[in-house]
Structure 1
Amino acid sequence: MSRAIKAQLVKYSRLAHERGLTAAFGGNMSIRKGNLVFIKATGAVMDEMTGEQVAVIDMKGRQVSGVRPSSEYRLHLEIYHKRPEVTAIAHLHPPYSITASTIIDVELPIITPEAEIYLKRIPIVPFRPAGTEELARIVAETMCHSDAAIMENHGIVTVGRSLREAFYKAELVEESAKLWYLSRKG
């Protein structure tokens, strides 16, 4: 089971980099299975991910594997605690979404029918330092009412019942940000 979960994390991490949703060391994804969370290891690069670069922690944040989790593990755990039906999270750093967060204060406009159906709304969370409990709390609270959020000057978070679902919601957030940005230029 854990090998299949790690393979999913590797696949979608590499795909996120390939599609321009993150760069360098940025971003992380996780899958919750029971009381365990499989998450990208600290320092791992998304386009070079391997199964050995997947950390395992429990729902209290205790390290189960020999690999340290991403510094954003608190964000993932807080969302899982607030949304028990969620079993996967994508946190990425796509450029249009980050750009939109520097211009819009409250919510990214929904432009496409797909974004309306699958996201409904894309709130923007005010800046908090990366990896902090404060960021984890404010994002998790926002995610109680949304499957996607943009963190000001930081990136996006999407959730799903599978990593595939969370990943494609992340693509929709970035598409929405890109369309919004391009529509401003006309």
Structure 2
Amino acid sequence: MKKLIDKYVGKIVSQGLAERESIALIGLDAEFTANRSLSDIDPELLKVFDRMNINALLYAEPAEPYRSILRYLAAHHNGCLVPTDCETRTFLHDIPVIPVLSAEAVVTALSHRKAAIVGDKGIISFGTVSPEQAFVSFSSVCFSTFVKFFTDVMYHLDDLAGRRADRNAELLEAYREISGKVPAPVLGCDAVPLSPPAEIDEIYRQMADTGKELVRQRLVDSYFGNISYIYGDTIYISQTGSSMDELEACIDAVPLDGSSSSGITASSELSAHISIFRRTGRRAIIHGHPKFTVIMSMSCRKQGCDMSTCYRSCRTERSVSGMPVVSGEIGTGPTGLVHTVPEAMTRGKAVLVFGHGIFSASGDNFSPAFDLLRSAEETCRKEYFKKIQALI
């Protein structure tokens, strides 16, 4: 348990989600184990274990800019926050906000949700099997609140320009403060392979190396994204729920003709990856959730639309800096992205999905697809701040 606790505390710190001294990650095996002395941990956290069937509890004050975002959103949303991006809305549903750190309030909130915001101080999450679950939920709340805050600012200014709202001076003042705390993009390196894999073992290695670099450059938040490579008559694809920086043992080999059930543990977007290959011939495919790409994919305030269904049913043709934006939800249903993304990929090598990130693909190696995804995030970041500056 101690190794797992140290591992996920390390991930939280390396991904810029929280500072080490603000983290309390507690595991329960035969006895309590934590990343700090139990005497330094709020007793209310330990009481939660008496009332929930869990083996891990994570409580931390997030790092900037998440800390300031959390404080603003918690102060202006009584009861709960509803994510605006479709991935964390599907995963988290909503995020309860509890006023103080008490075992009773925590148990009430976590009895029906994966994580909660505690006042304007921190985020609490849990695991029933491993500390990994607590880490995933904590990371998702950081991602979700970041996207929500900057999307709320964008929508408010759009409505203000269209004379559909009164100026929210408090929100705009918070934006001025928080936007200055957004870190610069992480610099790239040469970790993404430049040449096509020559054999199957190399496919696994290249996928794992590319996944690690996606996480290092913060283009995915560890778990929400997927990657695939088509070699011969087989697609090699990351498993559903796998950590993108630990793919070595989490890649499925799935026959393209559907002759095996091996795809049962593959990414939920397996069908979309196969269809992209069949429509374009591109073998290296990456799907990620870079923050500003997700935000700009939702840059639309078309009047008369039901914004709650745009992510799955909008058919209006839109683009961001020449990149198509399509709707579509996870899976193969009638509104699944398998019906929209592959067709759009015939018109470009990168496609944004409303509230769901980006798909990029390249011919036979991962480097161009990775560069497309990274440059798309840089472009969306610039476009966002350019748009806000013009409206503010």
Q: TM-score, normalised by structure 2?
A: 0.42
Question: Does 2:216 correspond to 1:14?
Answer: no
The partner residue of 1:41 within 232, 239, 249 is 239
Distance in 1 separating the partners of 2:358 and 2:342: 12
For residues 96 and 14 of structure 1, the distance between their equivalents in structure 2, rounded to whole angstroms, comes to 20
Q: 1:145 aligns with which of 347, 358, 368?
A: 347
Corresponding residue for residue 251 of structure 2: 54
Matches within 5 A, 1:57-68: 57-63=254-260, 68=265
Identity within the alignment, %: 26
Of 347, 350, 371, the match for 1:168:
371
3-state SS of the aligned residue for 2:340? helix
Give 1:78's aligned residue: 275
**Cα offset for 1:131?**
2.5
Partner of 1:71, secondary structure, is: coil
Work out the CA distance in 1 between the residues paired with 2:352 and 2:255. 26
Aligned residues: 172
Q: TM-score, normalised by structure 1?
A: 0.86
Tell me, yes or no, if structure 1 residue 92 matches structure 2 residue 288: yes
Residues 109-148 of structure 1 aligned to structure 2 (within 5 Å): 109=321, 121-126=322-327, 128-133=328-333, 134-148=336-350
Q: Distance in 2 between matches of 1:164 and 1:6?
A: 15
Quote the offset at 1:62 in angstroms: 4.5
The Cα offsets for residues 48-85 of structure 1, whole Å up to 9 and x where unpaired, read as 222x211111223444758821111011001011112x
- CA drift at 1:132: 2.6
How many angstroms apart in 2 are the aligned matches of 1:148 and 1:97?
Answer: 11
How far apart, CA to CA, are the structure 1 residues paired with 2:381 and 2:387? 10
Root-mean-square deviation (CA, aligned residues, Å) is: 1.8
Aligned with 2:266 (options 69, 73, 76): 69
Gaps of 5+ in 1: 110-120
CA contact (8 A) 2:239 2:252 kept: yes
Question: Residues 11 and 44 from structure 1, CA distance in 2 versus in 1: closer, same or farther, beyond 3 angstroms?
Answer: same
Q: Which has the larger radius of gyration?
A: 2
Contact 2:254 2:263 in 1 (8 A): no
Distance 1:151 1:7 in 2: 28
| Letter in structure 2 aligned against 1:130 | I
In structure 1, distance between residues paired with 2:258 and 2:226 = 16
